[in-house]
């Protein structure tokens, strides 16, 4: 009988200040016991509780892809008690990871389709996982055209720059990296994600869109997708709500009858249209 | 399984034999109220009471419970690694539990043990090590409405044995193997006792006159029920005190917190309540249920709409009426449900 509350002990392998304002750090964790690495089987879109004994837990999307090996990567915004503590922690320190939790993106159902990814700000984390997974030689052939639109306020707020360069250079992905306002030396796109999405104008035929970003980005992206004829069941989103247990028991992250932790965090726009907007 | 009979004067030896290898708890009178207490004889057992003030949910889901512990030191080789608290070492018996409270555990099993491979081990351990001996209701409270929420005054679900008070004697009906085992030394009940118990069941059911109707709530789509104009009125009286959630036998929301002192650390869970704005408050400041209306609506929608959808029709209410009796502003769950059903 597995105890769903018991975190796996992990060691912080690497810490990196991820953005120019220092509000985000990227952590790599290695499992202390190899059998835990084996037990932690996940797919892009899932999350885990980062567990800092004495401080508590915070639910964070998994940014690494299982195709990258047994370590886990998370990019964490410094916001509350747990994440503030986490930002003060260093390589070599011991903490816990509990998961994987929730459902991944429907990668099986997405096979044979064109994929459009629209990401804003640090919500790009699980989409980093998705991109790495999709572009892996074992998986790339199963999907059609891949379009990746990602925006941040400034060049210094963009996450995972090395990977972005790599994807930009590939011929089998259409990459559109954008910042809010013009900056000297910036040679990529300028404008908000919804504007760039409008210019790119991805076709909805045989396609799926993964949309993840701050509420304001979601709000202005939706009309753009509507205009191009996308339907609710083609648009896949990922929700966040306050969580504790992560396994559908403690009662706080529900949106209607569904728990974001257990039934989500991935929902289609069509599903969400039939539920209260309690997120 | 045959119905058995036990004379009240012989109860003491029955309780003493139960208590030999188990912790036995029963409702006992404490001044004006009834509360759960450990007993080792039948001395304080009561048969004329309505129900205990608090539901017995704390036996499986304590108000504060240590889940794990750790050594609060990163210098220690084994430090900062969570270890499970040990399981219960003794069986326990809940004697004279009301059928509605036993039914509530069945509803909560669907929540706590929804994942067979990874159930809530703390709930399950205590459930597995507990025997439930129920006492059928002879005189239901005016706030009882169990018969319209899949329950009843002689409801047997979740019990290992049901006792029916026949005056000098108790009819003892074993319902599970555990109950059978405990009743092994009792005599078979004569037919007139069985008939008397059946008559009492009918009379008790008939004595429960208040009902709720959920037929329209069940039919309507979630969003339509959620937007029911009734929710604009019911929340106004509510003061979000959370009393209803603490007394409710099926309310099960909890918080998890870490506590440390010097080198010792624990992860504990505490009862929480959806009536609190903090319950859903994001670190960013955003709150998906930021208004009192959102929170009041959540509690009733959860019990009467969301749980039935998620749990194959199981209602998050057993009709015990505690919330109605304890509410400081007289919100009556029956009125709420019937209004939601309009």
pLDDT tens-digit readout, A9-57: 999 999 999 999 999 999 999 999 999 999 999 999 999 999 999 999 9
Compute the C-alpha angle B31/B36/B42, nearest 5°: 85
DSSP-derived secondary structure letter, A143 = S
- Give the DSSP H or E segment for A146: strand A146-152
The pLDDT tens digits of the residues spanning B53-68 come to 999 999 999 999 999 9
B66 touches chain A (CB under 8 A): no
pLDDT value at residue A1: 65
pLDDT value at residue A215: 86
CA pair distance A261, A241, nearest whole angstrom: 8
Q: Which residue of A has its CA nearest to B281?
A: A242
Pairing of strands A47-52, A94-101: antiparallel
Interchain contact, B70 vs A53, CB within 8 Å: yes
pLDDT value at residue B75: 84
Q: What is the mean pLDDT of residues A108-116?
A: 98
Full DSSP string of B64-133: EEEEEEEE--SSSTTTT--EEPPPP-SEEEEEEE-HHHHHHHHHHHHHHTSSTTS--HHHHHHHHTEEEE
Q: A64 falls in which pLDDT band (50, 70, 90)?
A: very high
**What are the φ/ψ torsions at residue A234 (nearest 5 degrees)?**
-95, -10
Query: What's the half-sphere exposure (Cβ side, CA atoms, 13 Å) at A270?
Result: 8
Interchain contact, B282 vs A96, CB within 8 Å: no
The pLDDT tens digits of the residues spanning B118-167 come to 999 999 999 999 999 999 999 899 999 999 999 999 999 999 999 999 99
The pLDDT tens digits of the residues spanning A121-175 come to 999 999 999 999 999 999 999 999 999 999 999 999 999 999 999 999 999 999 9
ipTM of the complex, rounded to two decimals: 0.93
Cα B6 to Cα A52, A109, B134, B160, B166, distances in angstroms = 55, 62, 14, 16, 10
Name every chain B residue with its beta carbon within 8 A of the beta carbon of A245.
Answer: 254, 256
For residue A219, what are its two tokens? 């709000």
Interchain contact, B302 vs A251, CB within 8 Å: yes
pLDDT at A272 over 70: yes
B315 touches chain A (CB under 8 A): no
CA pair distance A98, B82, nearest whole angstrom: 11
pLDDT value at residue B76: 85
pLDDT value at residue B77: 84
Q: What is the mean pLDDT of residues B85-98?
A: 96
Cα B228 to Cα A63, B2, B217, B275, distances in angstroms = 40, 49, 10, 19
Interchain contact, B223 vs A276, CB within 8 Å: yes
Measure B339 CA to nearest chain A CA, in Å.
19
Interchain contact, A252 vs B283, CB within 8 Å: no
The SS3 assignment for A8 reads strand
- Chain A to chain B Cβ contacts (< 8 Å): 137
Q: What is the mean pLDDT of residues A187-192?
A: 96
Nearest to A275 by CA among A260, A261, A262, A105: A260
Measure A12 CA to nearest chain B CA, in Å.
13
For residue B116, what are its two tokens? 């067979």
Which pTM does this prediction carry?
A: 0.95
CA pair distance B189, B187, nearest whole angstrom: 6
Nearest to A209 by CA among A243, A227, A235: A235
Minimum-distance CB partner of B289 among A32, A249, A278: A278
């Amino acid at each position: 009988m597995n105890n769903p509350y018991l975190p796996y002990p992990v060691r912080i392998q690497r810490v990196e200040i991820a953005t120019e304002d220092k509000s985000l750090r990227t952590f790599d964790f290695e499992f202390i016991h190899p059998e835990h690495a084996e037990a932690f089987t996940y797919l892009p879109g899932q999350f885990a509780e980062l567990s800092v004994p004495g401080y508590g837990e915070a639910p964070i999307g998994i940014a690494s892809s299982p195709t990258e090996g047994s370590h886990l990567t998370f990019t964490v915004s410094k916001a509350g008690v747990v994440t503030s503590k986490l930002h003060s922690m260093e390589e070599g320190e011991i903490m816990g990871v509990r998961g994987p939790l929730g459902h991944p993106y429907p990668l099986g159902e997405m096979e044979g389709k064109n994929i459009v990814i629209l990401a804003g700000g640090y919500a790009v984390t699980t989409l980093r996982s998705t991109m790495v997974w999709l572009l892996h030689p074992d998986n790339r052939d199963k999907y059609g055209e891949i379009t990746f639109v990602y925006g941040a306020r400034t060049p210094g707020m963009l996450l995972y720059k090395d990977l972005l360069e790599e994807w930009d250079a590939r011929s089998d992905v259409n990459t559109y990296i954008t910042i809010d306002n013009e900056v000297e030396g910036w040679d990529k796109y300028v404008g908000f994600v919804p504007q760039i999405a409008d210019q790119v104008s991805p076709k909805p035929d045989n396609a799926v869109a993964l949309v993840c970003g701050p509420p304001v980005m979601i709000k202005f992206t939706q009309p753009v997708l509507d205009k191009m004829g996308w339907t609710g069941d083609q648009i896949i989103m990922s929700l966040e709500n306050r969580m504790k247990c992560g396994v559908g028991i403690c009662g706080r992250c529900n949106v209607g009858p569904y728990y974001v932790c257990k039934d989500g965090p991935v929902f289609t726009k069509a599903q969400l249209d039939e539920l209260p907007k309690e997120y | 399984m045959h119905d058995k009979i036990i004379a009240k004067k012989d109860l003491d030896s029955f309780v003493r034999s139960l208590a030999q290898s188990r912790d036995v708890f029963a409702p006992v009178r404490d001044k004006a109220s009834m509360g759960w207490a450990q007993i080792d004889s039948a001395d304080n057992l009561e048969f004329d009471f309505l129900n205990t003030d608090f539901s017995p949910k704390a036996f499986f889901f304590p108000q504060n419970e240590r889940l794990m512990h750790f050594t609060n030191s990163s210098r220690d080789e084994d430090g900062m690694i969570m270890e499970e608290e040990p399981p219960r070492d003794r069986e326990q018996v809940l004697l004279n539990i009301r059928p509605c409270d036993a039914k509530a555990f069945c509803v909560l099993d669907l929540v706590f043990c929804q994942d067979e491979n990874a159930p809530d081990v703390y709930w399950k351990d205590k459930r597995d090590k507990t025997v439930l001996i129920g006492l059928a209701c002879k005189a239901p409270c005016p706030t009882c409405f169990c018969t319209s929420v899949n329950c009843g005054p002689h409801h047997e679900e979740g019990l290992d044995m049901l006792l029916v008070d026949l005056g000098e004697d108790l009819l003892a009906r074993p319902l599970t193997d555990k109950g059978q085992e405990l009743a092994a030394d009792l005599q078979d009940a004569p037919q007139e006792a069985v008939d008397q118990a059946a008559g009492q069941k009918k009379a008790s059911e008939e004595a429960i006159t208040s009902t709720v109707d959920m037929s329209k709530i069940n039919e309507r789509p979630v969003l339509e029920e959620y937007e029911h104009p009734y929710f604009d009125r019911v929340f106004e009286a509510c003061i979000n005190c959370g009393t209803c959630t603490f007394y409710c036998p099926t309310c099960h929301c909890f918080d998890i917190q870490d506590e440390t002192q010097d080198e010792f650390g624990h992860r504990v869970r505490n009862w929480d309540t959806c009536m609190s704005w903090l319950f859903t408050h994001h670190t960013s400041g955003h709150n998906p249920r930021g208004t009192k209306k959102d929170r009041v609506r959540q509690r009733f929608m959860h019990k009467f709409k969301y749980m039935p959808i998620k749990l194959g029709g199981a209602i998050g209410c057993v009709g015990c009426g505690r919330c109605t009796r304890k509410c400081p502003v007289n919100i009556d769950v029956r009125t709420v449900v019937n209004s939601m059903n309009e």
